[in-house]
Amino acid sequence: MEGIAEIRDIGYQSPGSSGGRDGVTNLGNCHGGPSGATNLTATVAQSVIAEAQAAARSLGLQLLVLNASTESDFEPAFATLVQQQAAALYVSPNPLFQNRHQQIVALAARHRVPTIYANHEAVAAGGLMSYGSPRADNYRLAGNYTGRILKGEKPADLPVQQPTKVELHINMKTAKALGLTFPTALLVRADKVIE
Protein backbone atom coordinates (compact mmCIF):
# COMPACT_ATOMS: atom_id res chain seq x y z
CA MET A 1 0.00 0.00 0.00
CA GLU A 2 1.28 3.42 -0.88
CA GLY A 3 -0.31 5.20 2.01
CA ILE A 4 -0.24 6.87 5.41
CA ALA A 5 -1.40 5.11 8.56
CA GLU A 6 -3.02 6.95 11.45
CA ILE A 7 -3.36 5.47 14.95
CA ARG A 8 -6.04 6.90 17.25
CA ASP A 9 -7.45 5.83 20.57
CA ILE A 10 -11.10 4.90 20.72
CA GLY A 11 -13.32 7.76 21.68
CA TYR A 12 -10.84 10.63 21.95
CA GLN A 13 -10.11 13.57 19.73
CA SER A 14 -8.94 16.86 21.10
CA PRO A 15 -11.47 19.65 20.63
CA GLY A 16 -10.99 21.60 17.44
CA SER A 17 -8.07 19.44 16.42
CA SER A 18 -7.20 19.29 12.78
CA GLY A 19 -4.32 17.01 13.60
CA GLY A 20 -5.33 14.44 11.02
CA ARG A 21 -5.17 16.96 8.20
CA ASP A 22 -2.11 18.81 9.51
CA GLY A 23 -0.27 15.61 10.43
CA VAL A 24 -0.77 14.14 6.96
CA THR A 25 0.26 17.42 5.32
CA ASN A 26 3.44 17.72 7.42
CA LEU A 27 4.42 14.13 6.67
CA GLY A 28 3.94 14.90 3.00
CA ASN A 29 6.60 17.61 3.31
CA CYS A 30 9.41 15.08 3.99
CA HIS A 31 11.89 14.47 1.16
CA GLY A 32 12.61 10.81 0.63
CA GLY A 33 9.62 10.25 2.85
CA PRO A 34 6.16 8.88 2.51
CA SER A 35 4.21 8.28 -0.61
CA GLY A 36 1.45 7.32 1.79
CA ALA A 37 0.68 7.12 5.50
CA THR A 38 -1.21 5.38 8.31
CA ASN A 39 -3.17 6.91 11.19
CA LEU A 40 -3.04 5.14 14.59
CA THR A 41 -6.45 6.13 15.90
CA ALA A 42 -9.50 5.40 17.91
CA THR A 43 -13.04 5.28 16.70
CA VAL A 44 -13.63 9.00 16.36
CA ALA A 45 -15.99 11.31 14.59
CA GLN A 46 -16.18 10.36 10.95
CA SER A 47 -15.61 14.01 10.06
CA VAL A 48 -12.10 13.89 11.55
CA ILE A 49 -11.23 10.77 9.57
CA ALA A 50 -12.80 12.25 6.44
CA GLU A 51 -10.66 15.39 6.90
CA ALA A 52 -7.48 13.31 7.15
CA GLN A 53 -8.51 11.23 4.12
CA ALA A 54 -9.13 14.37 2.09
CA ALA A 55 -5.69 15.70 3.03
CA ALA A 56 -4.11 12.39 2.05
CA ARG A 57 -5.95 12.37 -1.31
CA SER A 58 -4.84 15.95 -2.01
CA LEU A 59 -1.26 14.71 -1.63
CA GLY A 60 -1.90 11.62 -3.77
CA LEU A 61 -1.81 9.33 -0.73
CA GLN A 62 -4.06 6.63 0.70
CA LEU A 63 -5.02 6.65 4.38
CA LEU A 64 -5.25 3.49 6.46
CA VAL A 65 -6.89 4.05 9.86
CA LEU A 66 -5.73 1.72 12.65
CA ASN A 67 -7.58 1.59 15.98
CA ALA A 68 -5.86 1.18 19.33
CA SER A 69 -7.68 1.55 22.64
CA THR A 70 -5.17 -0.19 24.93
CA GLU A 71 -1.42 -0.58 25.06
CA SER A 72 -1.80 -4.20 23.93
CA ASP A 73 -3.21 -2.91 20.60
CA PHE A 74 0.07 -1.19 19.65
CA GLU A 75 1.99 -4.26 18.44
CA PRO A 76 -0.90 -5.55 16.26
CA ALA A 77 -1.41 -2.03 14.85
CA PHE A 78 2.25 -1.84 13.87
CA ALA A 79 2.08 -5.37 12.42
CA THR A 80 -0.81 -4.24 10.21
CA LEU A 81 1.06 -1.07 9.30
CA VAL A 82 4.09 -3.12 8.18
CA GLN A 83 1.95 -5.73 6.40
CA GLN A 84 0.15 -2.99 4.47
CA GLN A 85 3.53 -1.36 3.70
CA ALA A 86 2.44 2.04 4.97
CA ALA A 87 5.13 4.60 4.30
CA ALA A 88 4.45 6.79 7.34
CA LEU A 89 2.41 7.09 10.53
CA TYR A 90 0.45 9.87 12.23
CA VAL A 91 -0.31 9.32 15.94
CA SER A 92 -3.35 11.35 16.95
CA PRO A 93 -3.60 13.36 20.18
CA ASN A 94 -4.71 11.10 22.98
CA PRO A 95 -3.87 10.60 26.65
CA LEU A 96 -3.10 6.90 26.06
CA PHE A 97 -0.62 7.73 23.31
CA GLN A 98 0.88 10.67 25.20
CA ASN A 99 1.48 8.51 28.26
CA ARG A 100 2.92 5.67 26.17
CA HIS A 101 4.83 7.77 23.66
CA GLN A 102 8.15 6.07 24.43
CA GLN A 103 6.70 2.68 23.44
CA ILE A 104 5.26 4.08 20.21
CA VAL A 105 8.54 5.87 19.41
CA ALA A 106 10.41 2.58 19.95
CA LEU A 107 8.00 0.67 17.70
CA ALA A 108 8.28 3.33 14.99
CA ALA A 109 12.09 3.19 15.20
CA ARG A 110 12.16 -0.62 15.14
CA HIS A 111 9.94 -0.70 12.05
CA ARG A 112 11.65 2.36 10.51
CA VAL A 113 8.37 4.20 10.02
CA PRO A 114 8.47 8.01 9.72
CA THR A 115 6.02 9.19 12.37
CA ILE A 116 4.44 12.49 13.35
CA TYR A 117 2.98 12.88 16.83
CA ALA A 118 0.55 15.33 18.38
CA ASN A 119 2.69 15.63 21.52
CA HIS A 120 6.15 17.16 21.58
CA GLU A 121 7.47 14.81 24.28
CA ALA A 122 7.58 12.05 21.65
CA VAL A 123 10.07 14.05 19.56
CA ALA A 124 12.28 14.64 22.59
CA ALA A 125 12.18 10.84 23.11
CA GLY A 126 13.38 10.19 19.54
CA GLY A 127 10.24 10.58 17.43
CA LEU A 128 10.60 12.20 14.01
CA MET A 129 8.28 15.18 14.32
CA SER A 130 5.31 16.61 16.18
CA TYR A 131 2.65 19.15 15.41
CA GLY A 132 0.25 20.27 18.11
CA SER A 133 -0.46 22.63 20.93
CA PRO A 134 1.87 22.67 23.93
CA ARG A 135 0.45 20.52 26.71
CA ALA A 136 0.85 23.37 29.23
CA ASP A 137 -1.50 25.52 27.12
CA ASN A 138 -4.12 22.76 27.18
CA TYR A 139 -3.80 22.44 30.95
CA ARG A 140 -4.14 26.22 31.30
CA LEU A 141 -7.40 26.14 29.33
CA ALA A 142 -8.70 23.28 31.48
CA GLY A 143 -7.72 25.19 34.62
CA ASN A 144 -9.60 28.27 33.42
CA TYR A 145 -12.73 26.19 32.83
CA THR A 146 -12.39 24.55 36.24
CA GLY A 147 -12.01 27.90 37.97
CA ARG A 148 -15.07 29.33 36.26
CA ILE A 149 -17.16 26.28 37.19
CA LEU A 150 -15.98 26.42 40.80
CA LYS A 151 -17.03 30.08 40.89
CA GLY A 152 -20.57 29.01 39.95
CA GLU A 153 -20.77 29.29 36.17
CA LYS A 154 -22.74 26.57 34.44
CA PRO A 155 -20.62 24.37 32.16
CA ALA A 156 -23.27 24.59 29.43
CA ASP A 157 -22.92 28.38 29.44
CA LEU A 158 -19.15 28.39 28.96
CA PRO A 159 -17.83 29.09 25.46
CA VAL A 160 -15.84 26.46 23.64
CA GLN A 161 -12.14 27.26 23.91
CA GLN A 162 -9.42 25.85 21.76
CA PRO A 163 -5.65 26.19 21.86
CA THR A 164 -4.53 29.14 19.79
CA LYS A 165 -0.91 28.09 19.45
CA VAL A 166 0.45 25.05 17.65
CA GLU A 167 4.10 24.16 17.36
CA LEU A 168 6.14 22.08 14.95
CA HIS A 169 9.10 20.13 16.39
CA ILE A 170 11.50 18.14 14.20
CA ASN A 171 14.15 15.63 15.30
CA MET A 172 16.93 15.76 12.69
CA LYS A 173 18.81 12.85 14.27
CA THR A 174 15.78 10.62 13.67
CA ALA A 175 15.30 12.05 10.17
CA LYS A 176 18.90 11.20 9.31
CA ALA A 177 18.49 7.65 10.68
CA LEU A 178 15.44 7.24 8.42
CA GLY A 179 17.17 8.76 5.39
CA LEU A 180 14.82 11.74 5.29
CA THR A 181 15.46 15.40 4.61
CA PHE A 182 13.17 18.37 5.14
CA PRO A 183 12.84 21.46 2.96
CA THR A 184 14.64 24.44 4.41
CA ALA A 185 11.35 26.36 4.44
CA LEU A 186 9.83 23.77 6.79
CA LEU A 187 12.89 23.76 9.07
CA VAL A 188 12.78 27.57 9.29
CA ARG A 189 9.09 27.43 10.28
CA ALA A 190 9.72 24.78 12.93
CA ASP A 191 9.45 25.99 16.51
CA LYS A 192 12.13 23.52 17.62
CA VAL A 193 14.69 21.49 15.69
CA ILE A 194 16.57 18.81 17.60
CA GLU A 195 20.00 18.24 16.05
Q: What angle do CA 54, 116, 171 make, to 5 degrees?
A: 145
Position 18 scores a pLDDT of 45
Position 16 scores a pLDDT of 39
Q: Is the pLDDT of residue 176 over 70?
A: yes
Contact 3, 55 (CB under 8 A): no
Position 133 scores a pLDDT of 84
pLDDT in tens, 43-85: 455 666 777 788 888 888 888 888 888 889 899 989 988 888 8
HEC letters along the chain: CCEEEEEECCCCCCCCCCHHHHHHHHHHCCECCCCCEEEEECCCCHHHHHHHHHHHHHCCCEEEEEECCCHHHHHHHHHHHHHCCCCEEEECCCHHHHHCHHHHHHHHHHCCCCEEECCCHHHHCCCCEEEECCHHHHHHHHHHHHHHHHCCCCHHHCCCCCCCCCEEEEEHHHHHHHCCECCHHHHHHCCEEEC
Position 54 scores a pLDDT of 85
Position 7 scores a pLDDT of 52
Position 112 scores a pLDDT of 92
Q: Is the pLDDT of residue 95 over 70?
A: yes
Position 85 scores a pLDDT of 85
* High-pLDDT (> 90) share of the chain, %: 32
pLDDT in tens, 22-41: 544 444 444 444 444 455 55
Average pLDDT over the chain, rounded to whole? 78
More confidently predicted of 195 and 38: 195
Delineate the domains of the chain, giving CATH numbers in brackets: 3-132+166-194 (3.40.50.2300), 134-164 (no CATH)
Position 98 scores a pLDDT of 84
Q: Which residues touch 158 (CB under 8 Å, ≥6 apart)?
A: 145, 148, 149
